Amino acid sequence: MAFFEEWDDDDRMEALFSSSAIFDAKMLHAWKPAVLWTLRGRATDNSKNSALTPSLLIFPESLARRFVRKGVEPVPVVLNHVLSHMIQDKDLIHLEEFQAMCEQVSLPRWLFRTAVVTPARWGLHSLHSLWNDESSTSSAARRIPPGPYLPMEVLKTIAHAIVDFVMSELEPTERTFCLSQNDHATCGPRLSCSFHALCLRVGASISDEMAIPSILKDLAPTEFAWIAKYLAWSKQAVIRGDLLKIHRGQSPALVTAGDESLLVLQHMIATLEVSMAKLQAKMDETKAKAVARKRANNLTDALVYLRHSKTLGDSLAQRQAGLLNLLQTEHQLRDMHVQALVVDGYKVASASMHHVRDSLGLTANAVDDAVAEWQIVADEASQIDVLLSSTAPGVAFDDDALAAELEALSNVAPETTASNVADSVAEEAIHLPKPAQSPVHDGGVHALATRVAQLNMSK
């Protein structure tokens, strides 16, 4: 924490310890987490301090002793100012107010407390202030009622850690716990169904010593009751009698008879285990006495102790058989709870399928009508394809004749085909008509021949 990191800074701590801190908002925000830090019962270097007891409760009258530095305590007006702001911001709630808040489970009680009790209390407080001429409105001058107070932010963090641990590590049948420490002799840290044991397990699972939930390892067992009440008040658990069931969800949970039967069975098993351990120790002690008497040549007493040891052994065997039956019964009960969850899953799935089927109209009649209509449309489309693919009237070809002609054409030799083509071309050329010659063309040729003859004669 920044507050204790500067613990050795004389100038800084002198400012925080002096009355000037009440005029500085930054110093106020430095003091608030420091007050919550003292709940851990640790020194400024996070080491354990035997003089500081870990607790969820804050007592204003003794808070200054947790901030002694070099033999000097903070000015009382500073702590008074800090606590007043924390109470005003609902960071701290008086224990009586917290209990009243947790008991407001019904609307009539809430209306009565809100409309009658609280105004009357504040009215009496105002009259008391006027009677004592307490005209100052400063939070530093206002007297704080004696504690204890509960830090709501710390309770919220611890409750969140407990619920996270339960939901991630425990089965649904293991989320009901026993709150009583008096009704059940075996209920305590050793028994897994104890809320005390749960808090210790959560505290041990926190590896960060600086984390707030690590305080669970060192709290007094009586303070776990405030955590349980906060869980119930924040709707993260339900309490029925001495039983607490942790849950997370919108739907409210209930402590059922099955949950209670499992807890009772666990207590019986734990009680039987304790009695078996005691009986085993007594049997070993009796055997040791028989051996000692035998070594002392007192055969009569040795036989008596040996017979008694055999009797204790028979009783131990009976209890072992009973323990086995109880363990099997507990296993069967847990299996039945799981089977009930499976059945609930089937019910939810069935209801969901009904809803989806109804919303989408997936009924047998609707599907039958849709398939029949589709069949009609498909048949009409097939008929249309047949009509469009038919040939024109009077145009008909014999597929077998066309195939035979195509086969004959494909069997003709390529050379024969080529010569036939050439002969046909030549024959066509012979029969082609010759182009007619015009008179102009004949006269030109005759004149050209006469000129050539004259040239030859001149030579």
pLDDT surpasses 70 at 222: yes
pLDDT surpasses 80 at 399: no
179-188, 275-284, 297-306: the lowest-pLDDT one:
179-188
For the chain, how are helix, strand and coil distributed in percent, rounded to 5? 70, 5, 25
pLDDT digits (tens, 9 = 90+) for 38-51: 787 766 655 666 56
At residue 227, the pLDDT reads 93
Q: Where in the chain are the domains?
A: 2-147, 152-249, 260-352
> How far is 354 from 357, CA to CA, in rounded Å?
5
- What SS3 state is found at 45? coil
> How far is 175 from 332, CA to CA, in rounded Å?
17
Q: Are 218 and 41 in contact (CB under 8 A)?
A: yes
> Which residue reads 């984390």 in tokens?
211
At residue 76, the pLDDT reads 80
Amino acid at 145: P
Closest by CA to 154, choosing from 100, 200, 213, is 213
At residue 103, the pLDDT reads 78
> How far is 385 from 339, CA to CA, in rounded Å?
59
> How far is 6 from 26, CA to CA, in rounded Å?
14
184 falls in which pLDDT band (50, 70, 90)?
low
At residue 374, the pLDDT reads 93
How large a percentage of the chain has pLDDT more than 70?
A: 72
pLDDT surpasses 80 at 397: no
Beta carbons within 8 Å of 190's beta carbon, 6+ residues apart: 197, 270
pLDDT digits (tens, 9 = 90+) for 400-425: 887 888 888 888 655 555 555 556 54
At residue 134, the pLDDT reads 44
Query: What is the DSSP code (8-state) at residue 253?
Result: P
At residue 36, the pLDDT reads 83
66 falls in which pLDDT band (50, 70, 90)?
confident
Cβ count within 10 A of residue 172: 14
Query: What is the DSSP code (8-state) at residue 248?
Result: -
186 falls in which pLDDT band (50, 70, 90)?
low
pLDDT surpasses 60 at 249: yes
Closest by CA to 333, choosing from 253, 246, 262, is 262
pLDDT surpasses 90 at 377: yes
Q: Are 56 and 226 in contact (CB under 8 A)?
A: yes
pLDDT surpasses 50 at 127: no
pLDDT surpasses 90 at 328: yes
Give the domain 152-249 fold.
Answer: Arc Repressor Mutant, subunit A (1.10.10)
pLDDT digits (tens, 9 = 90+) for 193-206: 888 889 999 998 98
At residue 449, the pLDDT reads 64
Terminus-to-terminus CA distance in the chain, angstroms? 139
At residue 459, the pLDDT reads 52
- The mean pLDDT value of the chain amounts to 78
